[in-house]
Structure 1
Amino acid sequence: MSELNKMRLGEFYDPNDDSLCKMRAHARALFEKYNQTSHEQSQLRVELITELFAKVGQKFVIEPTFHCDYGKNISIGENFFANFGCVILDCAQVSIGDNCFIGPQVGIYTACHPLSPIKRNRMIEYAKAVSIGDNCWIGGHATINPGVVLGDNVVVGSGAVVTKSFGDNVVIAGNPAKVIRTITEDM
């Protein structure tokens, strides 16, 4: 089985495999070019992100600088916004719904490393997908860890470290993140 297939299946894989290194180099070339664009080059920005990501909605804004591993594992919905300094380590799928807004310096991570130092020193890793529902707002400097699923209408407080999944209509904050409020229609 190829290292790419192992990675996609969430099994241990060698990230230094030649084909994976080439895929990351291609993604790096695209996001480095993207990060050099100006606001006036909006059409070029759209073209670069459309080539980099697996799926994009009609309307999106990603402020430079942006970094990712592969890009092809990222899907974003309609009306997406990511502020400055967003990092998405997409060794597994990262799916983000419609009307989602990401604050500055947010990290979304799918890469996992073995706890055992013997395995870790072999430079192998595995990945867990991340899914973010519709109408979510992730505050600045928040971290979304591997395997997290966030429902619809979730607000993540600034600096939160999200280590587990949460359902719909909640505000979460803290380290580790926990529910601090339920969102209701009258808010």
Structure 2
Amino acid sequence: MKTEKEKMLAGEYYDASDETLMTRWHFAKKLMKEFNHADSTDNRKLNNLLNMLLGSKGENLWISAPFFVDYGENIHIGNNCEINMNCVFLDCNKITIGDNCGFGPNVQIYAVSHPVDPVERLAGQRGGVFSTWKINSAPVTIGNNVWIGGGSVIMAGVTIGDNTTIGAGSVVTKSIPANCLAVGNPCKIVREL
């Protein structure tokens, strides 16, 4: 029988109030609090906190506080990346970011979703630590050399190809191929690069 975490990472419906998931969620909140209140010049402390928070990270990663995650451990970031302030990465599934990527402020990545039908969505409510809606997830993959403009939202299951730029304020609901500029709500390709 699968654990709730295994169901979550497989994209199946899962119980977010599961004790193991909640333990990691609370631990991630403690690490985020320390990170978000740390002196921005204390690189050693910031790096140590990110090592505990993230699933993996490459060299030369800069994340400006505040930074927000669900679990943190499902986030994998490559080399030479910069993530500006107020970014929210809901990593209920794997979020993979390649090398040389940049994120403007207020970028949100949602590797999680709920059914749009309220009857189906509310059918997932259960007791436990807290009552949750029916919930599932899908990975988000961002290639190398990608720039995500400020205020963009990237939805569950999306892949963004290498060398692509997503314009500020875009809502990315479907995958975007490599080597293009894409903007808007919903995000669409404007031109090839």
TM-score by length of 1: 0.96
Identity, in percent, stands at 39
2:166 is aligned with 1:156: yes
- Stretches of structure 1 that go unaligned for 5 or more consecutive residues are none
Q: How does 1:1-187 map to 2 (within 5 A)?
A: 1-121=2-122, 122=125, 123-183=133-193
| Whole-angstrom distance in 2 between the partners of 1:150 and 1:106 | 14
Write out per-residue CA displacement over residues 79-137 of structure 1, whole angstroms, 9 at most, x where no aligned residue: 01000100000000000000000000000111110123223112220001000000000
| Whole-angstrom distance in 1 between the partners of 2:174 and 2:41 | 39
Q: Which amino acid aligns with 2:25?
A: R
Shift of 1:42: 1.1
| Whole-angstrom distance in 2 between the partners of 1:165 and 1:127 | 16
**Deviant stretches of 4+, over 2 Å:** none
Shift of 1:180: 0.7
| Matched length | 183
Q: Which amino acid aligns with 2:40?
A: H
Shift of 1:39: 1.5
CA RMSD of aligned residues (A): 0.8
| Whole-angstrom distance in 1 between the partners of 2:116 and 2:167 | 28
Of 62-71 and 35-44, more deviation after overlay is shown by 35-44
Shift of 1:50: 1.1
